Amino acid sequence: MNNLLVLPFLLPVLTAVICCLFVGRPGVGRRVFIAISAAAQCALAFYLAVRAFHEPPLVLLMGGWAPPLGVVLVVDGLAAIMLCLSTVVALACILFSYAEIPVWAEQPLRLPLMQLLVAGINLSFLTGDLFNLFVAFEIMLVASYALLTLEANDRHIKEAFPYLAVNMFGSALFLVAAGLAYSVFGTLNLADISRRAEAMQGDFGVMVVAVLLVVVFGIKAGVFPLYYWLPNSYPILPFSLGAFYSGMLTKVGIYVLLRTFGTVFPHNLTQLYTALAWLAGLTMVLAVLGAVSRNFIRGILSFHIVSQIGYMILAIGFFTPLAIAACIFYVIHHIIVKSSLFLIGGTAMFYNRTDNLARMGGLLKASPILATCFIIQAFSLAGVPPLSGFWGKYAIILVGLEEHRYWLVVAALVASVLTLVSMLKIWMGAFWQKLPADGTADPEAPAAARTMTAIVCALTLISLAIGFGAEFFFGIAQTAATSLLDPAQYREAVFSLTGKGGQ
Amino acid sequence: MQIETALLVGLLFAVSVYLLLHKSFVRILFGFVTLTNATNLFLISMSGDPDGKRAPILAEGSGPIVDPLPQALVLTAIVIGFGLTIYLIMLLYRIFLDAKTTDASKLFLPEADDE
């Protein structure tokens, strides 16, 4: 029954193709179809997650070719967690977009492209082959380029160009890295690379490939000094798409960094870990300063993505088993909280018709539930106990103190305080202050506003559950981290299967 | 063959980075085109020294053949690069229609309704 592994990729692709070829026009039926498909993907991801946590990693040989000849798909604990998160966030964003835009105003290509984006993201979690990973990244990026410019107006479309240029440069570097990996290791299968890299420990070639991959995924994840494309390009997206981009796209970079350092390369690249940790410290502080300087919701939240990426990279930079578990926990918390904050911003914009803080206000009175959700998620992002963000940051800072990296701990704490400052800026501007004389706080469609608030509430409840059930979620993260850091288990799962052309 | 290819790849990368750092979007486009070609050449050169080796067609006799895998990879990479180039051209065309210029320093002027 391992054939199921291809479905998290195949289902969104099929949905997109059916929508483009047979149901070209937006309509209620098409919306229901896509929602059902998204819900099915979600259920499938959770089913795979339950299996992945009770069994050794699940492996599917594409075309029946024995590894390392063919492409393999592998689902272990971490991949399963990421699949669950991406499908849940996709479902929430799709439902939110139904409330955000009436059927007649919907761009016909938007939902199919979003499904292709999900397909690319899921494939990059599933794949166990470096070149296939490149293809998955390209599917994801091409869909993201198209969505970014699909509904942009004249002024916004210019902001998209730096995003395109930086990401295309990153993709070219990825291709170079893949070619180099093939010439150094003689294979592109991740399990096989890990086997050969172990035998080549200390070899200069291993280091070169590792550094190139760090640069590539650092660009994709938005690490200092190459993050400036992100906070300027995300604000041009509609909120429902912005939530999905901010939740998932950069986290694919984090996932691949975890995968390459945990499973593929030998665990002795100490200089590289130190470099990553320092870059992470700079990313956290500089990006959060950017967030404090912005005065509209999407801008503030976009800078926060980069700042939070810093925490995850910092955990990877410490590279102890506890730090990796903390990083995985942080990813779980971050994806849910970040996406829901974007969706809260979208709902706030629906009430105020703008997301410029100077012209917003009165939302505490207009929608107390929304304000409650916002304050919970904002405190969670800043790391106030007992909310979900606290536990991830606590574990990361604990590791930092154990490792005597005091300056990096200071940077993490400063960034955390500044996060709270910029979140309070949104709170004061949009929720607390009185409505400006020329502003409005009545949504055009109250029913749609209620649907949006319900979706936001559901995500807030998930995030509360992560915070209060931290022991359970940290247990999951630790299980995933243990299997991630055990390349032998990964290799055995892949090479135990036989197929065509086996040795 | 190896050293000439290495020099050519280096030259192409230098030209493309030089072009990518320009303000004009047209130059960025040409920088990207050069970049994809540099990458593809790099990828195909990963099959090693081709001197004295045959094309990888097994039906046509025996002897050492060049490694066919990078050739398969480069085919995928060419298609992806081509698609992206078309996308960039269309985007550039739209920017030109909107703003009647492709110079980034003139495009990014702050406007009155900037949020």
pLDDT digits (tens, 9 = 90+) for B34-84: 999 999 999 988 887 878 788 878 777 777 888 888 888 899 999 999 999
- Chain pair A-B, CB pairs under 8 angstroms: 77
Touching check for B29 and chain A: CB below 8 Å?
no
- A54: closest CA of chain B, how far (Å): 36
Return d(Cα A457, Cα A341) in angstroms, integer: 11
- The answer to whether residue A435 scores a pLDDT higher than 80 is no
Say what the pLDDT of residue A164 is. Answer: 86
- This complex has an ipTM of 0.90
Residues of B in contact with A160 (CB under 8 A): 91
The residue among A164, A133, A136, A137 whose CA lies nearest residue A149 is: A164
Q: What average pLDDT does range A355-379 have in this prediction?
A: 83
pLDDT digits (tens, 9 = 90+) for A43-96: 999 999 998 888 888 888 888 888 888 888 999 889 999 999 999 999 999 999
Q: Output the CA–CA distances (angstroms, integers) from residue A87 to A94, A179, A382, in the order listed.
A: 10, 31, 25
pLDDT of residue B111: 52
Q: Does B94 touch chain A (CB under 8 A)?
A: yes
B95 touches chain A (CB under 8 A): yes
When pLDDT is averaged across residues A469-498 and rounded to a whole number, the result is 88
Judge contact between A410 and A418, C-beta under 8 A.
no
Going by pLDDT thresholds of 50, 70 and 90, the confidence category of residue A431 is: confident
What pLDDT does A499 receive?
78
* Minimal C-alpha gap between A179 and chain B (Å): 5
Q: Note the pLDDT of residue A330.
A: 92
pLDDT (tens digit, 9 = 90+) per residue, B59-73? 777 778 888 888 888
Phi first, then psi, for residue A109 (nearest 5°) are -90, -5
Q: Is B39 on the interface with A (CB under 8 A)?
A: yes
Report the CATH number at residue B30: 1.10.287
| pLDDT for res B109 | 59
* pLDDT value of residue A139: 92
C-beta atoms of B76 and A135 within 8 A: yes
**Residue B43, domain member (yes or no):** yes
pLDDT tens for each residue of A238-295: 888 888 988 888 899 999 999 999 888 888 888 888 888 998 888 888 888 888 888 8
Average pLDDT, chain A: 87
Q: Is residue B29 part of a domain?
A: yes
Residues of chain A whose beta carbon is less than 8 angstroms from a beta carbon of chain B are 131, 135, 138, 142, 145-146, 149, 154-155, 157-158, 160-161, 164-165, 168-169, 171-172, 175-176, 178-180, 182-183, 188, 296, 354-356
Residue A473 has pLDDT above 60, yes or no: yes
Q: Is A134's pLDDT higher than 70?
A: yes
Does the pLDDT at position A194 exceed 80? yes
Identity of the residue in B35, B46, B104 whose CB atom sits nearest the CB atom of A172: B35
Mutate to test the interface with B, among A140, A175, A233 (most CBs of B within 10 A): A175
How much is the pLDDT for A9? Answer: 92
Q: Label residue B48 left, alpha or beta by phi (over 0 means left) and psi (-120 to 50 means alpha).
A: left
pLDDT confidence tier of residue B115, bands split at 50, 70 and 90? very low
Give the model confidence (pLDDT) of A149-186 as tens digits. 888 777 777 778 788 888 888 999 999 999 999 988 88
The region of weakest confidence among A132-136, A217-221, B100-104 is B100-104
CA-to-CA dists, residue B15 to A294, A296, B32, B37, B40, angstroms:
36, 39, 10, 11, 15
Cα–Cα distance between A502 and A67 in angstroms, integer? Answer: 7
Residues A377 and A450: beta-carbon distance below 8 Å? no
> pLDDT at residue A34 above 50?
yes
pLDDT grade for B108, boundaries at 50, 70 and 90: low
Total of domains in chain B: 1
| Chain B hits for A182, Cβ within 8 Å | 46, 69-70, 73
Looking at residue A325, its pLDDT comes to: 92
A502 pLDDT band (50/70/90 cuts)? low
Interchain CB distance below 8 Å, B73 and A183? no
Q: What 3-state DSSP class applies to A127?
A: strand
**According to the model, what pLDDT value does residue B112 have?**
45
pTM exceeds cut of 0.90: yes
Show me where the domains of chain A are located: 268-484
Q: What pLDDT shows up at residue B10?
A: 93
Percent share of chain A, pLDDT over 70: 99
pLDDT of residue A56: 83
| Nearest Cα residue in chain B from A296 | B115
Q: What is the dihedral of CA A463, A469, A471, A475, to 10 degrees?
A: -60
State the nearest Cα–Cα gap between B20 and chain A, in angstroms.
8
Q: Residue with structure tokens 């964003």?
A: A93
Is B90 near chain A, with CB under 8 Å? no
Q: Are B73 and A142 a contacting pair at CB < 8 A?
A: no
In tens, the pLDDT along A95-120 reads 998 888 888 888 888 888 999 999 99
pLDDT at A501 exceeding the cut of 50: yes
pLDDT reported for residue A446: 78
Nearest 5°: the CA angle A426, A427, A432 is 125
SS3 (DSSP) at B24: strand
Q: Report yes or no: B19 at the A interface, CB cutoff 8 Å.
A: no
Q: Which residues of B fall within a CB distance of 8 Å from A113?
A: none
Q: Which domain holds residue B22?
A: 1-47+65-103
Contacts of B104 in chain A (CB under 8 A): 158, 161
